[in-house]
Structure 1
Amino acid sequence: MRALRIKVTCGPEDAERCNQAFTVAAMAVASGADVGLWLTGEAAWFGTPGRAEAFDLPLATPLADLRDAVLAGGQLTVCTQCADRRGITAEDLLPGVRIAGAAVFTEEILGEGVQALVY
């Protein structure tokens, strides 16, 4: 099975697109794929406590549940610049969430057999 790297570039301002990225990531984890979900832009906040819990999209799986599924079987990463612009530090993140930049993302997506998706 291919590795999957998903970058979500939006937050509550585009709730359906944001939720879709988390849903695909969680389903890929459940399927046994090597999954990395990258949080950029306003999505960076979902690496911190309470933000996913406050996200609401009718008829959708709660974002916190999807995030926790990714954390349980994959990697959740907050973009370095996005974190810096929002004043988010490593101490602000949920356990298991990391901060990394474009060089790491590029290295991951250029790996053999990796599929990258951007939402």
Structure 2
Amino acid sequence: MPRQLVIKVTAGADAPERCNQAFTVATAALVSGVPVSLWLTGESAWFALPGKAKEFELPEAAPLEDLLNAVLAAGQVTLCTQCAARRGITADDVIPGVRIAGAPTFVEEILHEGAQALVY
């Protein structure tokens, strides 16, 4: 079984290249057959809401909405509990398939044997 990739993206529209890189790496890993768990934290938390990824623009980059949909289809997307609460986002607000979970779940994922964590 390939290693699992756990990616925490902390950037959003405030750092578009770093944000897009996290989503691009997640999608590339999935296409390569690597299991992926993508965590939306900090300013990337907004992308858990319907339509927000479509608003993101970065020249010469794949549309963020397409990358997010690819991860939702073949991997796991998690919105940080505290990040959601600070932004007034609830489970009823998020895109279907996005779960809300906190630090204990993140720690559990990154401590699995064979897991590789990346933070953007």
Matches within 5 A, 1:25-36: 25-36=26-37
Q: In the alignment, residue 105 of structure 2 is paired with which amino acid?
A: V
Shift of the alpha carbon at 1:22?
A: 0.3
Aligned-pair RMSD on alpha carbons? 0.4
Q: Unaligned 5+ residue runs, structure 2? A: none
TM-score by length of 1: 0.99
Match of 1:114 in 2: 115
Structure 1 segments of 4+ aligned residues over 4 angstroms from their partners: none
Residue 91 of structure 1 aligns to a residue whose secondary structure is coil
Residues 60-117 of structure 1, C-alpha deviations (whole Å, 9 max, x = no match): 0000000000001000000000000000000100010000000000000000000000
Report whether the alignment pairs 1:101 with 2:102.
Answer: yes
Q: Which has the higher helix share?
A: 1
User: Matched residues, percent identical?
Assistant: 67
Match of 1:75 in 2: 76
Report the number of matched residues: 119
Shift of the alpha carbon at 1:32?
A: 1.1
Cα distance between partner residues in 1 of 2:117 and 2:40: 14
TM-score by length of 2: 0.98
Shift of the alpha carbon at 1:34?
A: 1.0
Q: In the alignment, residue 109 of structure 2 is paired with which amino acid?
A: E
